[in-house]
Amino acid sequence: MTLRDELVARAVALQPLLREHAARTEADRRVPQEVVEAITRGGLFRLGTPRRYGGHEAGMRTLLEVSAALAEGDGSISWVVSLVNACTWVAGLFPVQAQDDVFGADPDARVTGVLAPTATALAVDGGGWRVSGRWYYNSGSWQATWAVLGVPLTDAAGEVVDQAVVLVPREDLQVEDTWFVAGMKGTASNCLVASEVFVPAHRVLSVPAAVAGEFATEQKDEPFYRSGFVPVLALTLVGPQLGLGKAALDHVLANAARKPVANTVYGTQAESVALQLKLAEAALKVETARLHAERTADAIDRAAAQGGYPDPAERAHFRAATAWAVQNTLEAITILLDVHGAGAFAETSPLQRIWRDANTAGRHALAVPTVGYEVYGKSLLGIDDTITPLV
């Protein structure tokens, strides 16, 4: 059994526990501690941790499949695990000194983060920065031990000279409980607040340099930490969607053989040709999403293994494929709710939670289809017109 197979099997084994705690996860708006402990025991917070610190350094395809398997049990929990692993991977791009700070004493360090530079960072004499700011939608805020946070870097005149992410211990931050939403309720995507927090220079990473593949880590022989910066962060958002789509399809198929079609001659949904066609369409959309996501993950891993870095055209394709996978999953879930009927919206039905979770997560800025498609369309036409630096 490969490492990927083993980790996915551990995720599948956790599905009953996640389903058991799904209602509590929503009600408490955070992942229950016993679930956090079970995920930690399974090593599923270590997918993005370098092997030098006891991590799995698992690669993009493994992260995708593990998060998809977890989402079949619960979307919010999968989202937290996915985002923590992605931010842990980002920590692995920093200089080794910063990695030692994070993982040296705690191989199970859980890193969360927000890239948006909603902060100020003032240079300190002798090196380092004094950071203050507020970062909204920090998924997994209650479980974090560290955070990667976006900041603008300014010169002595106050002019912005770079955009960066900084590594900050969770104990140096406050959490404002702001996550009151319709879906992905259990992700605890609250606001992190910093007030005059000192960040040493070795815990600062340039975002434009990272987007271009210029990482600060001295460990240049670790393939996962040569992967495309934005492609990894964007595709991380797709794993939970894949699992939610499969869970919705499985639920509707399981009920089709006994659920009647109201006000028709059909005793069960399975007898209706119209619903057979809709189920086939939904199943193919779920499959299409997975195929695009897996192909993109494999391309990211392959480029990293070969020592290259995806060029702008490849990265544009990756971003569009990510958006395509999300769009197809959302469309499939809508079809499946139409097939299942109004009962899908009963509070006791997992379908309504899947629908809410998928549609909330599908609006993440890195997953928005229109932006991804425009980036790719411009690339196909050779139009050099940047609408976002995050490609």
pLDDT tens digit string along 231-286?
Answer: 999 999 999 999 999 999 999 999 998 999 888 998 898 999 999 999 999 999 99
Residues of the chain with pLDDT under 50: none
* Structure tokens given for 81: 């695990």
Which pLDDT value is given to residue 227?
Answer: 98
Q: What is the spatial distance between Cα 24 and Cα 21, in angstroms, rounded to a whole number?
A: 5
Phi, psi angles (nearest 5°) of residue 271: -85, -20
At 248, which amino acid appears?
A
Quote the pLDDT of residue 156: 75
The string of DSSP letters for 36-84 reads HHHHHHTTTT-TTS-GGGT-----HHHHHHHHHHHHTT-HHHHHHHHHH
The predicted structure's pLDDT at residue 131 = 97
Angle among Cα 288, 291, 292 to the nearest 5 degrees reads 90
Containing 131, the helix (H) or strand (E) segment is strand 129-138
What is the predicted pLDDT for the residue at 262?
87
Beta bridge partners of 123: 129
125 CB burial (10 A radius; 0-12, 13-18, 19+): exposed
Q: Are 358 and 75 in contact (CB under 8 A)?
A: yes
Q: Which stretches does DSSP call E strand in 170-318?
A: 174-176, 190-199, 204-206
Cα dist from 174 to 11, 141, 144, 238, whole Å: 31, 10, 12, 29
Interatomic CA distance for residues 163 and 209, integer angstroms: 9
d(CA 314, CA 300): 10
Q: Which DSSP state fits 115?
A: -
C-beta separation of 92 from 58 below 8 A: no
| pLDDT of 277 | 98
Within 10 angstroms of residue 41's Cβ, the number of other Cβ atoms is 12
- 280: which residues sit within 8 A by CB, 6+ positions away? none
Question: What pLDDT, on the 0 to 100 scale, is given for residue 121?
Answer: 94
Spatial distance between the Cα atoms of 281 and 275, rounded to a whole number of angstroms: 10
